[in-house]
Amino acid sequence: MIDPRAGAGAAAGGAAIVRELKVPGPDERAIKREKVVDVLWALQEERGWIDDEAVGIAAAECDLTPQEVDEVATFYNLLLRRPAGRTRIYVCDSISCELCGGPELMQRVSEVLGIQPGETTLDGEFTLLPIVCLGHCEKAPCLLAGEAVHGPCVTTRAAVEALIQRIRNERGTASR
């Protein structure tokens, strides 16, 4: 710590010491690496998922190996490494949602869509997935469909059927 009684000379000396350390700023490669999630997100928006070609594109763009990109893509659960429906429904399975009916919500959505978690409807419209936390505990139990959070969700079959129809309407898809 600089002694406040030492005056401006001590501060100037401190600056000289910092200059001597030559702490480098971010290099170009580090800056490229930082944008890998944004690049993957853009590729997923364009393609619907992140295929091996997209991994290669992201690797070249971000100066990473395909393996490094794949590690990022498989770490984030909103980045998908396999084909998915046009609308992904993520049912929150955090402790708050768990205690407020999350398992029942997942079961009911599964029944209404006729698919199990991780599957896509035959028409390619919906993929049902669990998600660790949506950060909307005050809306437990909740789900994310597209970019819209829905909750607190009533878990009766009729309520979930109405919710799925509302999601279809919001997403501009016909009732199937």
Instruction: Give Cβ neighbours of residue 176 (< 8 Å, ≥ 6 apart).
Output: 121, 123, 125, 168
**Residue 101 DSSP symbol:** T
Whole-number pLDDT of residue 33:
77
Q: What is the pLDDT of residues 135-174, one digit of tens each?
A: 999 999 999 998 899 999 999 999 999 999 999 998 776 5
The per-residue pLDDT for 13 is: 57
Q: 2 pLDDT exceeds 70?
A: no
Would you list the DSSP string of 109-120? HHHHHT--TT-B
DSSP 87: E
- Which residues make up the CATH 1.10.10.1590 domain(s) of the chain? 24-83
**pLDDT computed for residue 24 by the predictor:** 58
Residue closest to 145 by CA, chosen among 89, 105, 98, 100: 89
Mean pLDDT across 66-85? 94
Which segments of the chain belong to CATH 3.40.30.10? Answer: 87-171
CATH code of domain 87-171? 3.40.30.10
Per-residue pLDDT, 169: 92
Q: Look at residue 18 in the predicted model and tell me its pLDDT.
A: 52
Note the pLDDT tens digit of each residue in 9-48: 555 555 566 556 655 566 777 777 789 999 999 999 999 9
What backbone torsions phi and psi does residue 166 show, to the nearest 5 degrees?
-65, -40
Average pLDDT, integer, range 119-135: 95
| Whole-number pLDDT of residue 11 | 52
Phi, psi of 87 (to 5 degrees): -120, 120
What is the CATH T-level fold of the domain 24-83, as seen in this structure? Arc Repressor Mutant, subunit A (1.10.10)
Burial class (CB in 10 A: 0-12, 13-18, 19+), 91: buried
